[in-house]
Amino acid sequence: MFWNRPAQRQPEPEPESRHQVLYYAQTPLEGDLFAVIRVTWHEKGMPIGVVESQLREDDEDAIPEFGQLVGEALRGGADVSIICGAPPEAVGIKQS
């Protein structure tokens, strides 16, 4: 009977080669939101955590905060998804 056998250790998943993603959607946001930024962290090719941040228009540090948050996430290898009312050039993202 299979339930009497001891459990076998499953092999660790092989790290998958993956391409880092930066997604940007220029969309008007409700209320006083400037941007919504979602960062997905990976380990061994698998997602291990998601952090979502909201930046407000009335915050004078919104653009510097935006740059710091997105820059650190990208340098750390995370995927970043952004919804912002401003065009990408206004926040320092060059389109290619």
Tens of pLDDT along 22-46? Answer: 999 999 999 999 999 999 999 888 8
Q: Contact, 80 vs 38, CB < 8 A? A: yes
Burial (CB count <10 Å: 0-12, 13-18, 19+), residue 63: middle
Taking CA atoms, 95 is separated from 8, 86, 90, in Å, by 49, 14, 11
Each residue of 65-90: pLDDT tens digit? 999 999 999 999 999 999 999 999 98
- Among the listed ranges 3-7, 51-55, 61-65, 79-83, which one has the minimum average pLDDT value? 3-7
Higher pLDDT pick, 79 / 59: 79
Global pTM value: 0.78
Q: Which of 46, 41, 35 is CA-nearest to residue 83? A: 35
Question: pLDDT confidence of 93, banded at 50, 70, 90?
Answer: confident
